[in-house]
Structure 1
Amino acid sequence: MVHEAVLSFQYDSPEQAARVADAIDPELGEIDDDRSGVRADRDGSALELTVEAEDLVAMRAAINTWCSLVDVAERAGATE
């Protein structure tokens, strides 16, 4: 059974969402493994990450990783 979680992030502008999406883009596909993966979609000022994992331990680890990456991207973008 594959587990799925959708993480939705809403920003004040499409430009902010694009900055965060661009910042995490290099990691997409690079830190996936045989137990988990993620895909990102952006629509205007919304960014959505869909995390899939083979087990709940991998799901928790993937969610923690991606939330941390988004947090760093948001903080870095706030300094511009």
Structure 2
Amino acid sequence: MLTSRYVFETPAALRIYRSLKPELESQVTERSSVYMNVENSTLYLEIRSDDLVAMRSTLNTWLRLIQVASETADCLV
């Protein structure tokens, strides 16, 4: 089992989490899982995967989702 963890410190952490929460409820593949939570202004992301290909794919997807949500949150301020 592979595990990758990321920590994002941003004032928009809660907005990013809320915008991505629906994506957490639907698992795209059985080969990886995604866990996300937020505390104060810190967003935590953890991805677990059975293999390297699934890990790379899931990482690309979720890091891009967080980037877009962050850019959108910045526009709303």
Residue type at the aligned position of 1:67? L
Instruction: Please say if residues 32 and 38 of structure 1, whose CA atoms lie closer than 8 Å, have aligned partners that are also in contact.
Output: no
How much does 1:5 deviate?
0.2
Normalised by the length of structure 1, the TM-score is 0.89
Partner residue in 2 for 1:4: 3
Q: Does 1:39 align with 2:38?
A: no
Q: Distance in 1 between matches of 2:59 and 2:67?
A: 12
Q: Distance in 2 between matches of 1:68 and 1:31?
A: 17
Residue type at the aligned position of 1:9? F
Indicate the RMSD between aligned Cα atoms, in angstroms: 1.0
Normalised by the length of structure 2, the TM-score is 0.92
How much does 1:8 deviate?
1.1
Q: Distance in 1 between matches of 2:52 and 2:28?
A: 15
Q: Which runs of 5+ in 1 are unaligned?
A: none
Instruction: Please say if residues 51 and 63 of structure 1, whose CA atoms lie closer than 8 Å, have aligned partners that are also in contact.
Output: yes
Give the SS at the match of 2:7: strand
Q: Does 1:17 align with 2:16?
A: no
Residue type at the aligned position of 2:65? L
